[in-house]
Structure 1
Amino acid sequence: FLYGIVIDSGSSRSTVYLYMWPGEKENETGVVTEMMNCRVAGDGISEMKVDRQKDVQSWKAFQDCMDKVKNAIPAEKHKTTPLFLGATAGMRLLHEKDEERSNEILLDLRRFLSSFPFSFQNASIITGQEEGLYGWITVNYLMGNFIEKNLWNTYVRPEGEQTVGSMDLGGASTQIAFAVQDDLKGQDYMHVKLYGYPYNVYTHSFLCYGKNEAEKRILDIILQESSDPTYIMNPCFAEGFNTTYKASDIYDTACTKKPNNYDPDQEFFMVGVPDSDKCRSIVRSIFDFKNCSSSHCSFNGVEQPPVTGDYMAYAGFFYISRALLMNGTNDLDQFNSSVRKFCHTHWTVLRQEKTWIIPKYLKTYCYAAHYVFTLLADGYKFDKETWRNIKFEKEVKKTSVGWSLGYMLSMSNMIPSEVKQISPMKNSVFAGLIFLFSALTIVTVVLVFIILIRTCY
């Protein structure tokens, strides 16, 4: 077996993925599998270089995960195992806010990762567009949509040649990617050639529209609209729930505008006064659905072709749909009514019913469910018919769905742009061969019949 390591450094955490595949020369599609993953304890890397004590814990957590991965790979394979780190929206935001700190963090990570006995390739910030494209490659690679081997052990394009669209919801950004017809062009279209076949992929990433950053923007609106700054009623919180936020929890990001006389230590007491309609209205207010200079837009004036075909929604999309207990039901009206029911369930009941969700996340899921519905229905324009084509998934064939596998496949040239293929036989040639074979069969049967008659008489 051969191995590859990708560290997905997102806005809220880092995860180390170890992939393995048979070491054959002509690698069959779909055989790369996830051997293990290790979630690095603590915050995302964009929180480094602020608190020295926290940094010590972060490096120890990184070391623990890297040691686990190292022990899982045979020692003789260490040198040939590629190691990549890709940082996403959390570091994109930090790079905008404090380029020097973001560069220092990446430099420290490169030094740290170079100390391991692997073939360290790079630690870099990937663009939102790349993140979307790599997610799309992961989804379709795992589903075997690019290429497969036929009975004669030859690579062929699967029947129907359909790919699946990809939707990713992270902490600081969200991505959509899907294949479109070749004649569409623009900054959101990427042309890729995989296994000899060209694909035109529409891919767009919305920075500040990840689950955590969108929540900060919504909390900011609730604060601004509150008549009493010491007792804030939150329509997106469950009845029976209350919490205290520090101003820095909401405003220490490039996604929200700091108020005048900003004090990072100022505290805000929030109490749940559930109102599903009001919550949705606040969620909708962070989107601009009116501004559009082309025939089709998603939101904020971003051009997007109409959604067609099947889609896989993963990461935050999966966890939020699971919290609503959708159980694979892909019905728009049912999703909508589940959101309302969730938002009007008492906090004590939620705690009893949703034991697998820790309170830190559970408190956010009323807002988050409205957010997912708004993003998909009003943003990407999924309707009652097309919503049925969305599958909310966490993994495919025991491999986590995300951008990291597609990134490794692309960076290590494991998906060739060209591949030797035997062209399919033309219909006329195939029909001729069938006729010839049939004629030979009839002649053979007649000859055998004549020989048998002569033998008998």
Structure 2
Amino acid sequence: MALSRVVVAKQKKTWNRKVLFILGVLFVLGIIALIVVAVVQNRPLPKNLKYGIVLDAGSSHTNLYIYQWPAEKENDTGVVEQVAECKVEGNGISSYYLKPTDAGRSLLHCMNKAQEVIPATQQKETPVYLGATAGMRLLRRTNPEVADKVLTSVEDTLRSSHFDFQGARIITGQEEGAYGWITINYLLGNFIQEWSYFKSVRTSGALDLGGASTQITFESDENIESEDNSLHFRLYGKTYNVYTHSFLCYGKDQALRLQLANSITNIQNISLLNPCFNSGYTRNLNTSDLYNSPCVSDQKTLTTPPNIRIEGTGDYNLCKQFVQEIFHLSHCTYSRCSFNGIFQPVLQGEFGAFSAFYFVMDFLKLSKEKVSLDTVKETVERHCAKPWSEVKSESGKVKEKYLSEYCFSGVYILTLLELGYGFNSSSWKDITFLGKIHGSDAGWTLGYMLNLTNMIPSELPFSPPLSHGGYIGLMVFFSVFLLFVLLTCWLSFRKPKCLQKGII
């Protein structure tokens, strides 16, 4: 009897060890499964980014911008940010009208730079667009065949790149103004930063000044009497009605041509005293180069000398008088006009002024904080009154062409904004001069990219391998399984009294 009990005890001890081993293995497996599910489900997800390239082919130079945005979009419009830029060496593509094939070659350096920024695996699916602005608009007006050859050269270069070439075209002035408006409002957060049913965010107007054209764009509550100046956008789930107009030939470079051409008609010799250049400054002007622009070509006469020597006098008030003469204010067939008979509703809200507006005001140290209209006038007048030698000594690193024209540019900007668009001492405080905002350039290209993302199919974001419900279910299952293993161990080795009844 005693021997039998010993044998049973040994069998129970052996069985208990086996059970303990099995339960231990199951417990370890349960712990491992719980950890694996948690780690796999919560590991960082890869970024699903898309890239796009936009080239801004302006009248004076070309810039390449690289943008990126998440493949999953907000309200059908991608959240786009600028990640890199490259300034193409040389002048704008319209300057290659004598040798169009060189226009495409000028872009190669920046296209190679883009290859270094965008991952090789994504280059074939990265769209590249080129938009040409006022310089090419003028070239197409004077010589459409040459303009087409320049665009063909550009297209050939971009098509042969590693990227997905989508097109090169001359954008309209209205498009340039509208996309600039989209850019600054995006960067200022007016579209998506304040999503609220109880707060309406007013958009900012856009003031763009290039070398050959200038644009004004703003949201208006008024009826826009001219259909050509009315545009409609839908961005981030909201519709916007905006007024826009582009004045070709009123960029700062072409405006200077207009002012010089007006002055030349009154001279009797080859020397021209010009109040819009600092005193002591001289420039030899080839009139053939001056009149090769359609903005002034009709003002050339048989008596115009082939070369003219310009001598600056630095007279702010006389310069303002000369500049005002290129604006025509008498003719208007609408209820109100800006200038040259163009309809413009009453100015509304704040405005962001960028491109040449910013560069000139930044040089004059007027861009960092808002100052009064009178302060701006006084600053420009002081600069115009400086002798050329003093201007050069203070700003030796600036190219002479730009440096010599800051007096004219300052006067022109004041005249354009005040006389042309109708800003006054009260509304001047609503203008902010913008260069970069949150690392992105203020200009039309970002707005162009934002608009294009509406045409790029939205993709689902990378998601965890399990749904939320599936993840919670597995975590609960393995937790219950571990509790079951622990309870089984406890019941196997520490039986309650109710389970020991009948055992002697």
The interval holding the TM-score normalised by the smaller chain is: 0.7 to 0.9
The answer to whether the Cα contact below 8 Å between 2:77 and 2:236 also exists between their aligned partners in 1 is: no
Q: 1:172 aligns with which of 212, 234, 241?
A: 212
For residues 265 and 191 of structure 2, what CA distance do their matches in structure 1 show?
Answer: 49
Instruction: Give the CA deviation at 1:203.
Output: 0.3
Name the % identity: 40
- The alignment status of 1:286 with 2:331, answered yes or no, reads no
The answer to whether the Cα contact below 8 Å between 2:64 and 2:86 also exists between their aligned partners in 1 is: yes
The answer to whether the Cα contact below 8 Å between 1:190 and 1:200 also exists between their aligned partners in 2 is: yes
Distance 1:183 1:297, change over 3 A: closer
Q: SS where residue 50 of structure 1 aligns? A: coil
Match of 1:114 in 2: 159
Match of 2:291 in 1: 251
Match of 1:81 in 2: 126
Q: 2:57 aligns with which of 9, 12, 22?
A: 9
Letter in 2 for 1:20: Q
For residues 223 and 203 of structure 1, what CA distance do their matches in structure 2 show?
Answer: 33
Q: SS where residue 190 of structure 2 aligns? A: coil
Q: 1:379 aligns with which of 390, 401, 420?
A: 420
For residues 312 and 96 of structure 1, what CA distance do their matches in structure 2 show?
Answer: 30
Match of 1:432 in 2: none
Match of 1:133 in 2: 178
Distance 1:387 1:182, change over 3 A: closer
The answer to whether the Cα contact below 8 Å between 1:30 and 1:141 also exists between their aligned partners in 2 is: no
Instruction: Give the CA deviation at 1:193.
Output: 1.8
For residues 22 and 198 of structure 1, what CA distance do their matches in structure 2 show?
Answer: 23
Q: Deviations over 1:90-118 (max 9, x none)?
A: 11111111111111211222122111121
Match of 1:184 in 2: 224
Letter in 2 for 1:116: S
**Long gaps (5+) in structure 1:** 150-154, 417-457
- Structure with greater helix percent: 2
Q: SS where residue 245 of structure 2 aligns? A: strand
Higher relative contact order (CA 8 A, sep 6+): 2
- RMSD over aligned CA atoms reads 2.3
**Long gaps (5+) in structure 2:** 1-48, 458-504
Letter in 2 for 1:251: Y
Residue correspondences, number: 407
How high is the TM-score relative to the length of structure 1?
Answer: 0.84
For residues 121 and 28 of structure 1, what CA distance do their matches in structure 2 show?
Answer: 20
For residues 296 and 377 of structure 1, what CA distance do their matches in structure 2 show?
Answer: 15
Letter in 1 for 2:323: V
The answer to whether the Cα contact below 8 Å between 1:13 and 1:42 also exists between their aligned partners in 2 is: yes
Match of 1:439 in 2: none
Q: 2:362 aligns with which of 287, 306, 322?
A: 322
Match of 1:444 in 2: none
- The alignment status of 1:241 with 2:281, answered yes or no, reads yes
Instruction: Give the CA deviation at 1:202.
Output: 0.2
Q: SS where residue 64 of structure 2 aligns? A: strand
Q: Deviations over 1:375-431 (max 9, x none)?
A: 001111111111001001111111001001111111231799xxxxxxxxxxxxxxx
Match of 2:408 in 1: 367
Match of 1:269 in 2: 309
Match of 1:391 in 2: 432
The answer to whether the Cα contact below 8 Å between 1:167 and 1:175 also exists between their aligned partners in 2 is: yes
Q: 2:338 aligns with which of 293, 298, 303?
A: 298
CA radius of gyration, larger in:
2
Match of 2:92 in 1: 44
For residues 199 and 280 of structure 1, what CA distance do their matches in structure 2 show?
Answer: 37
Q: 1:92 aligns with which of 137, 140, 143?
A: 137
Q: SS where residue 42 of structure 1 aligns? A: coil
Instruction: Give the CA deviation at 1:310.
Output: 0.6
Instruction: Give the CA deviation at 1:157.
Output: 6.7
Q: Deviations over 1:42-99 (max 9, x none)?
A: 12111224047xx54x544310110001111110010111100001111111111111
- The alignment status of 1:309 with 2:349, answered yes or no, reads yes
Distance 1:25 1:168, change over 3 A: closer
The answer to whether the Cα contact below 8 Å between 1:147 and 1:156 also exists between their aligned partners in 2 is: no
Q: 1:103 aligns with which of 148, 154, 177?
A: 148
Instruction: Give the CA deviation at 1:30.
Output: 8.5
The answer to whether the Cα contact below 8 Å between 1:194 and 1:415 also exists between their aligned partners in 2 is: no
Match of 2:69 in 1: 21
Distance 1:23 1:364, change over 3 A: same
Q: Deviations over 1:117-166 (max 9, x none)?
A: 211111001110011000000111111111237xxxxx657933210000
For residues 127 and 241 of structure 1, what CA distance do their matches in structure 2 show?
Answer: 37
Q: Deviations over 1:270-312 (max 9, x none)?
A: 1112221111111000001221222221101111011121100
How high is the TM-score relative to the length of structure 2?
Answer: 0.77
Instruction: Please give the residue correspondences for 1:150-165 in structure 2 after superposition, counting only pairs within 5 Å.
Output: 156=196, 159-165=199-205
Q: SS where residue 381 of structure 1 aligns? A: coil
Match of 1:440 in 2: none
For residues 27 and 406 of structure 1, what CA distance do their matches in structure 2 show?
Answer: 16
